[in-house]
Amino acid sequence: MRPPISILVDVANASNACLACDPASQSLTVKTKDDARVFQADQVFVQQPDQSAGPALRAVIKPLVERFLGGVNVTLVLLGSSDSKGSILPIFFESVFEQGLAMEPLKLELSALQIYGDLLRDLLDPSNAAVELVNDGFSVKANGITRRTISSSLIGLETLSMLGNPTSGQAALAATTEILTFEIERDVTLSTANMSTTERVRSSFTILKLLSSDLFTEEPNCLLLQEGPSVSHSVAVLASAINTVASAKGRFDFTQSNLTNAMSQALGGNSLTAYLAFVKGDASAAQICNVLKLAQRMGRIKNNPVHLTASVRNLLQRVQDLAPVEERGQMDSDASKSYSSAQHTGTQIQNRDLKKDLSTLQAYVYEMTTKFNELKLANASLEACCKTTEKDRLAMKTELLEAKIELSRSLENMDGKNGDLYAQLRKSQDDMKAVETQLHDAKARCLALEEQINKGAEDREKLKHELDFEKKANAGLEKRLRVVELKNKEIGLEMIAVMATKNNYDRHNESHKLELEKLRKHNEYLKKKMEINQKTSFSLGNEMERMLQREQEKLRKVTLEHNDLRSRIREAEEEKKSAEDRLESFQEVSAAKEYALIQTHTSECEGYQSQMDAMKESMKKSQSHVEALRAEIEELGSKLNLAEREKEQLQQVIAHLEDQHSIATEHYRSKLEKLSHDVALAGNKKDAAA
3-state secondary structure 323-386: HHHHHHHCCCCCCCHHHHHHHHHHHHHHHHHHHHHHHHHHHHHHHHHHHHHHHHHHHHHHHHHH
Q: Region 108-119: what's the mean pLDDT?
A: 84
Q: Is residue 334 part of a domain?
A: no
The answer on 244 and 179 residing in a single domain is yes
Whether residue 333 is predicted with pLDDT greater than 50 in this model: the reply is no
The answer on 349 and 292 residing in a single domain is no
What is the chain's mean pLDDT, rounded? 72
Give the other-Cβ count within 10 Å of 639's Cβ. Answer: 19
Residue-level pLDDT at 353: 65
If pLDDT is split at 50, 70 and 90, which confidence band does 90 have? Answer: confident
8 Å CB contact between 403 and 508: yes
| Residues 338-362: b if buried by 16+ CB within 10 A, e if exposed | eebeebbeebeebbeebeebbeebe
Q: Is residue 591 part of a domain?
A: yes
CATH number at residue 209: 3.40.850.10
Q: How many domains does the chain have?
A: 2
Closest CA to 297 of 277, 272, 270, 271: 277
| Residues 487-513: b if buried by 16+ CB within 10 A, e if exposed | eeeebeeebeebeeebeebeeebeebe
Whether residue 330 is predicted with pLDDT greater than 50 in this model: the reply is no
Whether residue 349 is predicted with pLDDT greater than 70 in this model: the reply is no
Give the other-Cβ count within 10 Å of 224's Cβ. Answer: 12
Q: Is residue 509 part of a domain?
A: yes
Burial of 196 (0-12, 13-18, 19+ CB in 10 A): middle
Burial of 414 (0-12, 13-18, 19+ CB in 10 A): buried
> What's the full length of the chain, in residues?
690
Q: Region 30-57: what's the mean pLDDT?
A: 78
54-69 vs 84-100: helix crossing angle, rounded to 10: 50
* CA–CA gap between residue 92 and residue 61 (Å, rounded): 7
8 Å CB contact between 569 and 612: yes
Q: Alpha helices, DSSP H only, in 153-257?
A: 153-161, 168-171, 229-247
Q: Is residue 607 part of a domain?
A: yes
Q: Which of 299, 327, 361 is a domain's end point? A: 299
The answer on 678 and 557 residing in a single domain is yes
Whether residue 568 is predicted with pLDDT greater than 50 in this model: the reply is yes
Residue-level pLDDT at 277: 84
Which is higher by pLDDT, 585 or 21?
A: 21
The answer on 360 and 251 residing in a single domain is no
Q: Is residue 241 part of a domain?
A: yes
Q: Region 105-120: what's the mean pLDDT?
A: 82
Instruction: Give the tens place of pLDDT for each residue, 58-89.
Output: 888 999 998 888 888 899 988 876 555 567 88
Range of weakest confidence among 377-386, 617-626, 645-654 = 377-386
Residue-level pLDDT at 320: 42
Listed in sequence order, the residues at least 6 apart from 23 whose beta carbon sits closer than 8 Å to its beta carbon are 44, 45, 46
Residues spanned by the domain of 484: 344-532+547-684
Q: Region 157-181: what's the mean pLDDT?
A: 67
Listed in sequence order, the residues at least 6 apart from 653 whose beta carbon sits closer than 8 Å to its beta carbon are 383, 386
Instruction: Give the tens place of pLDDT for each residue, 646-669.
Output: 878 878 877 787 787 778 778 877
The answer on 120 and 14 residing in a single domain is yes
Q: Which of 262, 277, 299 is a domain's end point? A: 299
Which is higher by pLDDT, 600 or 677?
A: 677
Instruction: Give the tens place of pLDDT for each residue, 458-501.
Output: 666 776 777 777 777 777 777 877 777 777 777 777 777 777 77
Q: Is residue 305 part of a domain?
A: no
* CA–CA gap between residue 86 and residue 82 (Å, rounded): 9
The answer on 417 and 470 residing in a single domain is yes
Residue 559 backbone class (left: φ over 0; alpha: ψ -120 to 50; beta: rest): alpha
229-247 vs 285-299: helix crossing angle, rounded to 10: 50
Q: Region 30-52: what's the mean pLDDT?
A: 77
Range of weakest confidence among 254-258, 268-272, 504-508 = 504-508
Q: What is the SS3 assignment for 105-151?
A: CCCEEEEEEEEECCEEEECCCCCCCCCEEEEECCEEEEECCCCEEEC
Range of weakest confidence among 89-103, 272-286, 452-466, 556-570 = 452-466
If pLDDT is split at 50, 70 and 90, which confidence band does 117 have? Answer: confident
Q: Which of 299, 330, 360 is a domain's end point? A: 299
DSSP character at residue 255 = G
8 Å CB contact between 140 and 133: yes
Whether residue 315 is predicted with pLDDT greater than 50 in this model: the reply is no
The answer on 680 and 551 residing in a single domain is yes
The answer on 647 and 571 residing in a single domain is yes
Percent of the chain surpassing pLDDT 70: 63
Q: Is residue 194 part of a domain?
A: no
Q: Is residue 271 part of a domain?
A: yes
Whether residue 23 is predicted with pLDDT greater than 60 in this model: the reply is yes
Whether residue 237 is predicted with pLDDT greater than 70 in this model: the reply is yes
* CA–CA gap between residue 303 and residue 266 (Å, rounded): 8
CB half-sphere exposure, 380, CA atoms < 13 A:
6
* CA–CA gap between residue 49 and residue 29 (Å, rounded): 20
Residue-level pLDDT at 221: 44
The answer on 362 and 239 residing in a single domain is no
The answer on 442 and 370 residing in a single domain is yes
Residue-level pLDDT at 87: 75
If pLDDT is split at 50, 70 and 90, which confidence band does 313 have? Answer: very low
Which is higher by pLDDT, 58 or 217?
A: 58
DSSP character at residue 256 = G
Closest CA to 276 of 223, 210, 217, 181: 210
The single-letter code of the amino acid at 530 is M
Residue-level pLDDT at 360: 66
The answer on 278 and 214 residing in a single domain is yes
Whether residue 27 is predicted with pLDDT greater than 70 in this model: the reply is yes
Strand partners, 201: 186
Per-range mean pLDDT, top range of 252-256, 328-332, 518-522, 530-534: 252-256
Q: Region 120-131: what's the mean pLDDT?
A: 84
* CA–CA gap between residue 16 and residue 255 (Å, rounded): 42
Q: Considering just the CA atoms, what is the radius of gyration of the chain in Å?
A: 46
If pLDDT is split at 50, 70 and 90, which confidence band does 351 have? Answer: low
Whether residue 224 is predicted with pLDDT greater than 50 in this model: the reply is no
Whether residue 108 is predicted with pLDDT greater than 80 in this model: the reply is yes
Q: Region 354-375: what's the mean pLDDT?
A: 64
Residue-level pLDDT at 316: 39
* CA–CA gap between residue 325 and residue 336 (Å, rounded): 18
The answer on 486 and 422 residing in a single domain is yes
Whether residue 30 is predicted with pLDDT greater than 70 in this model: the reply is yes
